Chains A and B, each alone.
Chain A
């Protein structure tokens, strides 16, 4: 065999071997690329899930009530830190952390540890200036409420991971949560940081921002006046709801005390609840409009019909019913004006159980109003077969029934809205990321409750309450006000009786009486000293209503000063 052929044999063997290696490389690099690449990414990259971006919350005029701001979070790559104790000493001082627990974190040979999340710009500048090895900043989003505690119970708040915990933040989570974010850290084999990128994983294309029915100005006015009343009366709690009767839109809703959504951890969870929709209370005399509307609608009693008010004490069976004033004969108008329980009980007797139950339901009690806020209660309304012999009378003047503020304000609004009950609403529309309306919420009429005639008669009675009855302090210069006071003894569950020391003072009404623009309900819970709804709650109504009338530039009904001074 010639040497030439032996060389060619070697050459062929060589080429075959290279071909074999090519096949092997094809197998590793192309055929098995994706599983190997997955494993490789797991080794090279570390993912940190960050808070999702959230949309903004606006009031009805486009004022920002909640938005995201950029803040820095500080994290450490412990494997890059040569002296954990020195690093933790420097950092702990600036960030206000426990030095020894931080040092413990940094001593672990891990490749990642949060030091402190969401620090302010001045702190993050200080951390930057220190230039410590193995300490990095990562931009995150933080929820910010520019008005602090304004409308806190409506807006709600978010948790540390930007998840909605209460209010609109919770109920509109799926619209507000717009984009999920994560940071990808590329590390070397020792876990040291090489690069960190911040990327958007998923964007919610559906919607973005939420526009509330709330008017920031009215909300502000309502909160200021509510707080004053709360402080002056040393109450345990106070609630105000302002509603547009024509549409059912909530213009303002506040409870005092509230909380500051920027610092949610400072408040106990009971401050986060929204008593205006979760708290069930006995409405007392404000509830008298239900039975009154029912008898007027059914033509059973006319405003001039007279009832004997038993000189302030009427005993049915063993149960006494008392009036505040000792009255003899009063007509229907006067019964409402002076808020006689005995008179109202007698009107209730005329109406009967079925009639009262029917109209209570018709006005929306015993049902959820469907307001778009979490935790709504439907109140307490027992079936008529569970009623005792005096239940009919008591329910007629607002005892033995549990309602929520939102139910009661809606019931008053139905009178103001010519007899049509509207669903109370808190969100006007949801905007998509381009600012277009993605969802519009139209006013929803639930039902017609009473006729125009009934509305006119009842409104006249309620005007009487404010002009010469128990509600004179609710009057507003230049406008006729229709309203009703309520002073309810609180039922004590422990003793099973109404206690003589604790009251719920309230006032509900609308203005201008014959062309209503707003319905306002004020509830002051457990005021100290003077406890009448007409004294504690009515003035709040008056001041808030006056400011709203000015704000809306509504012409005076007549040149007439209110009788409340």
Chain B
């Protein structure tokens, strides 16, 4: 905290702010009709998203001023708290077919979003402390593997397959960047394949989803409906789109147009052009994040930063791949843009931490 002379990464900060603002506008555009129908006011989702955005940006600024090295000592307590919260969630009533929220007053809170950030903290911490033993399975990889399995298992039970996949992939990416042996990673993948098979193909609706994405047109009224509508939205948008607010897919044709499927609405209203600009902004954030990770003052900072950036990159890529029918439907939100408080706030907290790391980068270059 002492050396506050350094400046944070302003372009990164501004890009994040602009994306969040675009998100608010698009959430309103996508949700106005649905909101009018459900709540007799078109502003319901707009107001909520705006409040969360303001809270999130405030938290981002706060976290950017807290030295990230302080968090290292909280990594194990944080894991324990997260596990407890994920347990509590399992006893909450089901909402939208899953138990993901803990309600504190009027505010819903998703521990699984917190779990992603906590796992990044934990892995960064372990890799930093045991950096000499990174090649040893038992000493370094096993504890991380156990924590990852516990967290992802709890999230899987909610059920939240998307979150589970993210945790597992984060684990792989961070260990790869940390320098683990490729043989270890490959063998973990091989061992987990039967589990993956059970997790996906044993559950009826997931099997349907998995297969439907391959040919969404074949079953447009059933399992492929959402993807079919998503493609219609993108395709009818064309190069420059129908104009802001002019989406027709959002008139109840496309399910969840303001949450997971907000990008098709953007594609329909702003066209290929608009979507490309948004993708470029994500690329910019990832690029700046990667530079911060490389230039971080210590290994903990590098791992923490690369974890946060990987989280954003993974969620973005998977979400876009899903809505363009390149991957089976997962139920993953698009960072910064999708409606959803926990996701937005924890992503912005992550950005705050990243900004703090950026303030402490090595000056020698």
Contact = CB atoms under 8 A, between A and B. Distances in A.
Interface of A: 1, 3-4, 6-8, 10-11, 14-15, 17-18, 20-22, 24-26, 28-30, 32-33, 35-37, 39-41, 43-44, 186-190, 194
B272 A26 contact: yes
B252 A36 contact: no
Given A21-B320, A21-B324, A29-B239, A6 B179 contact: yes
Contact of A14 (B251, B272, B317): B317
Interface string B232-246: 111111110000000
Contact residues of A: prevailing secondary structure: helix
Nearest to A14: B313
What are the nearest 9 A-B pairs in CB distance? A36-B235, A188-B251, A189-B252, A40-B236, A29-B272, A44-B248, A33-B238, A189-B253, A40-B232
B173 A10 contact: yes
Chain A CB within 10 A, most for which of B33, B177, B248, B306: B248
Chain B CB within 10 A, most for which of A4, A22, A25, A32: A25
Interface of B: 33, 173, 176-179, 231-239, 248-249, 251-253, 267, 271-272, 275-276, 279, 282-283, 286-287, 290, 293-294, 299, 302, 306, 310, 313, 317, 320-321, 324, 326
A29 B178 CA distance: 39
Contacts of B235: 28-29, 32-33, 35-37, 39-40
Nearest to B178: A3
Contact of A10 (B176, B299, B321): B176
Contact of B252 (A4, A28, A39, A188): A188
Contact of B251 (A28, A41, A194): A194
A15 B283 contact: yes
Contacts of A4: 294
Contacts of B294: 3-4, 7-8
A14 to B, nearest CB: 5
A370 to B, nearest CB: 55
7 contacts: A10-B310, A14-B283, A21-B321, A30-B272, A32-B235, A33-B236, A187-B251
Nearest to A28: B234
A254 B233 CA distance: 62
B280 to A, nearest CB: 9
Contact of B290 (A7, A18, A32): A7
B326 A18 contact: no
Given A10-B173, A39-B232, 15 more contacts: A1-B179, A3-B177, A6-B177, A10-B310, A14-B313, A18-B317, A24-B326, A25-B234, A29-B238, A29-B275, A40-B236, A40-B248, A41-B236, A188-B253, A194-B251
A21 B306 contact: no
A20 B33 CA distance: 33
A41 B248 CA distance: 9
Contacts of A188: 33, 251-253
Contacts of B231: 28, 36
Chain A CB within 10 A, most for which of B253, B287, B299: B253
A25 B238 CA distance: 10
A26 B238 CA distance: 9
Contacts of A22: 276, 279
A260 to B, nearest CB: 46
A527 to B, nearest CB: 69
Given A10-B310, A21-B321, A43 B232 contact: yes
A194 B173 CA distance: 48
A21 B317 contact: yes
Contacts of A35: 235
A3 B179 contact: yes
A101 to B, nearest CB: 30
A438 B173 CA distance: 79
A28 B313 contact: no
Nearest to A29: B272
Contacts of B282: 18
A18 B290 CA distance: 15
Given A10-B306, A18-B317, A44-B248, A36 B267 contact: no
A3 B324 CA distance: 33
Nearest to A31: B235
Contact of A17 (B176, B272, B317): B317
Nearest to A37: B236
Given A36-B231, A189-B251, A190-B252, A7 B306 contact: yes
Contacts of B302: 3, 7
A35 B238 CA distance: 11
Nearest to B179: A3
Nearest to B127: A3
Chain B CB within 10 A, most for which of A11, A15, A30: A11
Nearest to B290: A11
A36 B248 CA distance: 14
A187 B173 CA distance: 46
Contacts of B276: 22, 25
Contacts of B234: 25, 28-29, 36
